[in-house]
Amino acid sequence: MFNLRPKDQFDFGSVAVNDDPDIEVHKFKRASKQGLWFESLRLLRDITLIISVFALFMVFVAQPVVVEGTSMVPELSNGERLLVNKLVYYNIESFSWGHIERGDIVVFWYPNDPNKSFVKRVIGLPGEDVEVRNGIVYIDGKQLREPYLDAEHNQTLPNYTQTRVKDHYYFVMGDNRDNSSDSRIWGLVPEKYIYGKAFFRYWRPSKAGFLQNGKPNLEETEDLEEGDYRAGNKE
Of residues 86, 120, 180, 197, which has the active-site annotation?
A: 120
Neighbours of 55 (CB within 10 A): 10
Does 206 qualify as catalytic in the annotation?
no
DSSP letter for each residue of 95-117: SGGGS--TT-EEEEE-TT-TTSE
C-alpha–C-alpha distance, residues 43 and 163, integer Å:
58
- Strand-pair partners of 217: 145
Return left, alpha or beta for 84; rule: phi > 0 is left, psi -120 to 50 is alpha, else beta: beta
Residues 103 and 122: beta-carbon distance below 8 Å: yes
| Residue 63 identity (one-letter amino acid) | Q
45/50 Cα distance (integer angstroms): 9
Query: Do the Cβ atoms of 59 and 178 come closer than 8 Å?
Result: no
71, 86, 183, 197: which one is catalytic? 71
What residues are annotated to the active site? 71, 120
